[in-house]
Structure 1
Amino acid sequence: MYGTMLDTPLLVSRILEHGAERHGATTITGFDSRLEPRPTRFDVIAARAAATAHALAELGVGHGDVVAILSESRTEYVEAVFAIPAMGAVAMPVNILRSDDFKTSALRDNDVTIALVDPEVFSSVLELTADLPSLRHVVVVDTHVPTGHADTHVEVHALEALLDGRPTTYPWPELDERTAAAIAYTSGTSGNSKGVAYTHRSIWLHSMQMCMAESAALRSGDTILSTVPMHHVMSWGLPYAAFMSGAGLVTARPRPGEGLHTGADLAKLLGTFRPNKLMTTPAALQQLLGQLEAHPQSLSHLSEILVGGSGVPEALFDAFVERHGVTLIQAYGLTETSPIAAFARPDPHSSATHRRAQILGQGRFPAGVRARVVDGDRVQPNDGWSVGELQLRGPWVTARYLGDDSPERFVDGWLRTGDMASITPRGYLDVVDRADDIIASGGELISSIELEHAVVRDDRVADAAVIGVPDDRWGSRPMVLVLLKPGAVATARSLWEGLDGVLEMWKRPDRWAFVDDIPLTTVGKYDKVAIRARYAAGEYSVTRIAPGSAR
């Protein structure tokens, strides 16, 4: 027996229409190349998205065509990630900070004929066109076309000129909800980047989950400041969730030429827009905390900070709670999971001790995400201490990569995340380490994350990153890069001794290097590939501690 409910497709176009109809006066604020804020109402975004669809259709975009977007966070970006999938095409945000080889490969592999580009990256995109014979049009997100493009085979347009006079409504087609809506690429920190194609259905369900109370809990009246760039999984899918819930959104962009926000920039954004929610990364929070220590500022307008990308050190968590009265809620996810798969809101039925462990972990899985940890061929029990590789499946979890079967990443319908983790009986996740980053030392496994969090407990330390390095006796040992706070003085020995009662002797890093900066990826994670390469090249001045008694 079948049910009697209508089988209406879950489409991006309906999210757009809903936001414009029900929350038209709410705004999304992007920033132009001069970092000037551009607040735009939802109903205006919807009208401009329709005009954008008309313009792209006239340039030849049809169903299933991939349109690339190479830009920083701005309101036109939001219009594009609605317009392109709603008209039946596929939006492909491209990280402008990635290498030219990556950008060329992404555009060529997806037969991109049209690219929307930020004026700041226009010249660099033109340099790629010789290797992109399929690219026919470059649309500059501006009022005019920059000069100096006579030697290219592509036609160059100014977006505002294309939109001028276009209709502000569009006959959005009735699509199969399982068709591709957007393409995102993994960061490539543990191998070649791989493409994931989100469907209209997966975007809709992920957006609903972001609005639920146990997740991001977005609702009408909220103002969210996000430092997560639009090219990183559409800023965690926030534009779609904002339009669905009616929450206002500020999509910040860093200074020109910079990959990440400084603490001063983030503090200024908080003071200017006074959001009640902040979505960001641990790296940005470390910068913000340093700024607040030097230049105190009230965060009373913030109800919570939602943070993801990597685990939050306990010391950083406590600093915001105790000094600024703001609670941090951790999130866990991957490009392959759209990206949010878990949120660390505590279980009110748990004891205070368990609630603290829950919020310091990576979160609890919602009904839409199934999770298991696997050690070899054995599925581990959810007992909170048995560790294995985390595997996921669900309606917003990918089942494959574009043009890459990668059978080693999928098993029996489960995505292998590459994260070593445990799950508690109540469904809370604790990520021990990346499988590639865990340190096998003398037959024992050491978590680089545990060591990083232990080192930053010291008040003199601003940040720390740990890798495993070769060791003749133990096979591998931990090496830590330490970034001290401004004006702080410390020796490797004093920091090592400061780990008494925090880490077992055999776990402590016995190689220490003080640095002025720690390499980060374009999304704010430690770039451990770069750190390993620099260590192998002898670029770090390393101090060894107790080399004969590390175990």
Structure 2
Amino acid sequence: MFGTMLDTPLLVSRILEHAAERHGGSTITGFGSRLEPHPVRFDVVAARAAATAHALSALGVGIGDVVGILSESRTEYVEAVLGLPAMGAVAMPVNTLRSADFKISALEENRVSVILVDPEILSPVLEIVAGAASLRHVVVMDSHVPSDLPGTHLEVHALEALLDGRPTAYPWPDLDERTAAAIAYTSGTTGSSKGVAYTHRSIWLHSMQICMAESAALRSGDTVLSTVPMHHVMSWGMPYAAFMSGANLITARPRPGEALHTGADLANLLSAHRPNKVVTTPAALQKLLGRLETHPQSLSHLTEIVVGGSGVPEALIDAFVERHGVPLIQAYGLTETSPIAAFARPDPHSSATHRRAQILGQGRFSAGVQARVVDGDRVQPNDGWSVGELQLRGPWVTARYLDDAAPERFVDGWLRTGDMASISPKGYLAVVDRVDDTIASGGELISSIELEHAVLRDERVADAAVIGVPDGRWGSRPLVLVRLKPGVTARARSLWEGLEGVVEMWKRPDRWAFVDDIPRTTVGKYDKIRIRARHASGDYEITRITPGSTR
């Protein structure tokens, strides 16, 4: 027996229409030239998205065509990631800090003929994309095309000129909800970048999850500041969720050409806009915390900070709670999971000890995500301590990569995440390490994440990253890169001794290197591929610690 419910497709166009009809007065704030804020009402975004659809249709964009976007977090960006899927095209944000080869490859593999470009990076982008054989049109997110552009065979248009006189309503097509709506690429921290195509259905369901009380709990009346760039999984899907819920959204943009916001940038945004929620990364919060230590300001307007992208050090969580009265809620996810799969809201029915562990972990999986940990060919029990590789599946988890790249990452319908983890009886995730970053030492496994968080407990340390390096006796041992806080001095021995009672003696790193900067990827994660390469090249001055010595 089938049910009697109407089978209407879950489409991005409906999110856009709903936002205009029910939450037209809510705003999306982006930042244009000179980092000036540019707030736009949701109903205006919907009207401009429709005009953009008309303009791009005139350039030959049709259903199923991929349109590239190379920009930072401007309001025009949000119009595009809503309007393009709504018209049946596919939005493909491209990280502006990635290599020229990557940009050209992404455009050619997806047969992109039209790209939208931030005016501040137009000239270098034109030089790069001129080699993309499929490309025909470049649309500048501005009112005019600069007169001093280098010669090019591409047609260059000003977006505002294309929109002039266009209708502000569009006959959004009735699509199959399983058709592609947007493409995102993995950051490539553990290998080559791979493409994931999100469907209208997956975006809709993921957005509903973000709005749920157990997740980010977005609702009308909220003002959310996101420092996550749009090219990073559409800012973790926040624009779609904001338009679904009516929450005001501020899409903070870094300074042009920079991967991260400074602590001062983030502090100024908080002071100017006074959001009640922030969505950000541990790297950005470390910078903010350092800024607040020297330039105190009230964070009383914040009810919580949602943080993800990598594990959050316990010391960072405690610092915001104890010094500023703001709780941090960890989220876990991957490009392959749209990206958010779990939120670390504690279970009110658990003991205080268990709630503490739940807050420090990566979160409880939502109803839409199935999870298991696998060791070899054995599925481990959800007992909170058995460790294996985390595998996921669900309606917003990809079943494959574009062009069927890396098929070994999928087994029996499950995505192999590459994370070593355990799952508690109540479904809470604790990520131990990346499979590739776990340090096998003398037949035992050491978590680089555990050591990083332990070292960061020391008040003298601003940043710390751990890799495994070859050792003749043990096979591999931990090397810690340490960046000290400004004006602070410390010896490796004193930092090593500070780990007493925090990590077991055999796990303690016996190699230390003090550095001015730790390499990070364009999305703020430790770039351990570069760190290993620099170590192999002898770039680090290493201090060896021998237990029992005085050095």
Same fold, TM-score > 0.5, yes or no:
yes
Change over 3 Å in CA distance of 1:129–1:313 after alignment to 2: closer
Give the corresponding residue for 2:432.
432
Where in structure 1 are there 5+ consecutive unaligned residues? none
**Which TM-score applies when normalising by structure 1?**
0.99
Give the corresponding residue for 2:325.
325
3-state DSSP class of the match of 1:157? strand
3-state DSSP class of the match of 1:115? strand
Q: C-alpha distance in 2, partners of 1:463/1:226?
A: 22
Q: Contact 1:373/1:391 (CA < 8 Å) preserved in 2?
A: yes
The aligned runs of 1:282-297 (5 Å cut-off) are 282-297=282-297
Give the corresponding residue for 1:391.
391
Q: Contact 2:512/2:542 (CA < 8 Å) preserved in 1?
A: yes
Q: C-alpha distance in 2, partners of 1:183/1:312?
A: 27
Alignment RMSD, CA only? Answer: 1.0
3-state DSSP class of the match of 1:166? coil
Give the corresponding residue for 2:353.
353
Is 1:184 the counterpart of 2:162 in the alignment?
no
Q: Contact 2:338/2:396 (CA < 8 Å) preserved in 1?
A: yes
Q: C-alpha distance in 2, partners of 1:148/1:527?
A: 37
Where in structure 2 are there 5+ consecutive unaligned residues? none
Note the C-alpha offset of 1:129. 3.3
| Greater alpha carbon shift after TM alignment, 130-139 vs 92-101 | 130-139
Give the corresponding residue for 2:174.
174
Is 1:502 the counterpart of 2:507 in the alignment?
no
Note the C-alpha offset of 1:489. 1.4
Give the corresponding residue for 1:458.
458
Give the corresponding residue for 1:343.
343
Q: Contact 1:333/1:341 (CA < 8 Å) preserved in 2?
A: yes
Give the corresponding residue for 1:57.
57
Q: Contact 1:87/1:172 (CA < 8 Å) preserved in 2?
A: yes
Letter in 2 for 1:540: Y
Note the C-alpha offset of 1:93. 0.3
Is 1:276 the counterpart of 2:267 in the alignment?
no
Note the C-alpha offset of 1:309. 0.3
3-state DSSP class of the match of 1:101? helix
Give the corresponding residue for 2:511.
511
The aligned runs of 1:369-408 (5 Å cut-off) are 369-408=369-408
Q: Contact 1:361/1:428 (CA < 8 Å) preserved in 2?
A: yes
Q: Deviations over 1:353-381 (max 9, x none)?
A: 00010010000001100000000000000
The aligned runs of 1:37-436 (5 Å cut-off) are 37-149=37-149, 151-436=151-436
3-state DSSP class of the match of 2:34? coil
Letter in 1 for 2:391: Q
Note the C-alpha offset of 1:406. 2.1
Letter in 1 for 2:463: D
Note the C-alpha offset of 1:404. 2.5
Q: C-alpha distance in 2, partners of 1:207/1:111?
A: 28
Note the C-alpha offset of 1:150. 5.6
The aligned runs of 1:509-548 (5 Å cut-off) are 509-546=509-546
3-state DSSP class of the match of 2:237? helix
Q: C-alpha distance in 1, partners of 2:33/2:96?
A: 14
3-state DSSP class of the match of 2:210? helix
Q: C-alpha distance in 2, partners of 1:485/1:80?
A: 41
Q: Deviations over 1:450-495 (max 9, x none)?
A: 0000001001111100000111111100000101111111110000
Q: Deviations over 1:325-373 (max 9, x none)?
A: 0000000000000000000000000000000100100000011000000
Q: Deviations over 1:257-312 (max 9, x none)?
A: 21100001100000000000000000000000000011111000000000000011
Q: How high is the sequence identity, in percent, across the aligned residues?
A: 83
3-state DSSP class of the match of 2:506? helix
Q: Contact 1:184/1:197 (CA < 8 Å) preserved in 2?
A: yes
Note the C-alpha offset of 1:151. 2.8
3-state DSSP class of the match of 2:35? coil
Q: C-alpha distance in 2, partners of 1:378/1:321?
A: 39
Give the corresponding residue for 2:442.
442
Q: Contact 1:375/1:389 (CA < 8 Å) preserved in 2?
A: yes
Letter in 1 for 2:273: F
3-state DSSP class of the match of 1:174? coil
Letter in 2 for 1:70: L
Q: C-alpha distance in 1, partners of 2:130/2:280?
A: 37
Moved over 4 A (4+): none
Letter in 1 for 2:317: F
Q: Deviations over 1:484-515 (max 9, x none)?
A: 11111111000001111111111011110111
3-state DSSP class of the match of 2:33? coil
3-state DSSP class of the match of 2:402? coil
Q: C-alpha distance in 1, partners of 2:99/2:8?
A: 41
Letter in 2 for 1:168: T
Q: Contact 1:129/1:154 (CA < 8 Å) preserved in 2?
A: no
Letter in 2 for 1:535: H
**Which TM-score applies when normalising by structure 2?**
0.99
Q: C-alpha distance in 2, partners of 1:410/1:198?
A: 17
Q: Deviations over 1:146-190 (max 9, x none)?
A: 234463221000000000111000000000000000000000000
Q: C-alpha distance in 2, partners of 1:544/1:136?
A: 57
